[in-house]
Chains A and B, each alone.
Chain A
């Protein structure tokens, strides 16, 4: 079976076996059709990569959009239609995840990261360079003994040489 399957796929592709394009259901009146398309934009096509069922040319997406259309025509609410698809395909089907449970992380995570960033930047700006004099003193103490202060004998000799 394992070796036959890729061969079958290759052959069927080479022989031009593609899903015949089926006609979708008739569009509803403009206001209702706008709802169908809006809902379709929120639902992920099962056989595509990140495309909504409104945007996908796949036959599966067309079938799903037809289902949305028939449910809208039956008078189902947007919430009922979304629930119908979630019941079958899980929350995976929603291109915009619902804000509950661990999904809050998706919604609030970027905001929290931004806030943390602002706090860090604000703290860095407010920080006074209090450590600077101490650091200078430390640097001074690390210099060789002959290089410290104006009374350094070596320095005095260099200055004298330069003034000549």
Chain B
């Protein structure tokens, strides 16, 4: 092997390494990919926290849906709580709002909601099976499902009023306009 070939192979190996490292360092290693955007939202039928019956995703078809996964042990969820309350009052005519209690006890969730009630239904997800179906990787996470039952996206972390407004606007637009 001539020295030219050796140099060429070494340069190719270095270039490949640089590309791989650049790709790797360009990402947040803690960020969990979300693959369900643009796909049909997994169906569910969950009991309401107040014990007044069940809610299924199917019965909400034709209306955009905002689903918030939260827990009482989650500090950022408590920070987000008033934003969702405000969001519901502001946008209840445009979208359905639902809360899903994640990895928490019914008693904890009820006690918290007695002190800080929400105007929208809260649901119980036994053993977090619906959370896993939706690809939840921590709380708070909020999913935005359009009127056709397709997941438009999710917001990881506490929502701000601006972020919620932008998401709702996107949600009520037809798919072609949104892209």
Chain A positions within 8 Å of B, measured between CB atoms, are 1, 4-5, 8-13, 17-20, 22, 24-25, 46-47, 59-60, 63-64, 66-67, 70, 86-90, 92, 105, 116, 119, 123
Dominant secondary structure at the A interface? helix
Chain B positions within 8 Å of A, measured between CB atoms, are 1, 9, 16, 20, 32-36, 71-76, 78-79, 103-105, 108, 127-129, 131-138, 158, 160
Ranked nearest first, the 7 interchain pairs of A and B with the lowest CB-CB distance are: A12-B75, A88-B135, A90-B33, A63-B128, A46-B137, A8-B75, A59-B103
- CB nearest to A1 among chain B residues: B160
Q: Are A5 and B35 in contact (CB under 8 A)?
A: no
Q: Are A20 and B137 in contact (CB under 8 A)?
A: no
Nearest CB in chain A: distance from B14 CB, A = 13
Q: Are B108 and A1 in contact (CB under 8 A)?
A: no
Q: Select one of B74, B131, B138, B158 contacting A12, CB under 8 A.
A: B74
| Distance, CA A59 to CA B33, complexed state (A) | 19
Q: Are B128 and A17 in contact (CB under 8 A)?
A: no
| Distance, CA A47 to CA B141, complexed state (A) | 13
Q: Are B75 and A17 in contact (CB under 8 A)?
A: yes
Q: Are A66 and B129 in contact (CB under 8 A)?
A: yes
Q: Select one of B35, B75, B127, B129 contacting A88, CB under 8 A.
A: B35
Q: Are A89 and B75 in contact (CB under 8 A)?
A: no
Q: Select one of B9, B35, B75 contacting A87, CB under 8 A.
A: B35
| Distance, CA A90 to CA B36, complexed state (A) | 9
Among A1, A4, A13, A116, the most chain B Cβ lie within 10 Å of the Cβ of: A1
Q: Select one of A17, A25, A46 contacting B32, CB under 8 A.
A: A46
Q: Are B9 and A11 in contact (CB under 8 A)?
A: no
Nearest CB in chain A: distance from B141 CB, A = 11
Nearest CB in chain B: distance from A100 CB, A = 17
- CB nearest to B1 among chain A residues: A123
Q: Are A17 and B74 in contact (CB under 8 A)?
A: yes
Q: Which residues of A contact B34 (CB under 8 A)?
A: 89-90
Q: Which residues of B contact A63 (CB under 8 A)?
A: 103, 127-129, 131-132
Residue pairs across A and B with Cβ atoms less than 8 A apart, 15 shown, are A1-B160, A10-B75, A12-B74, A12-B78, A19-B73, A20-B104, A22-B127, A46-B136, A46-B137, A63-B131, A63-B132, A67-B132, A89-B33, A89-B34, A92-B32
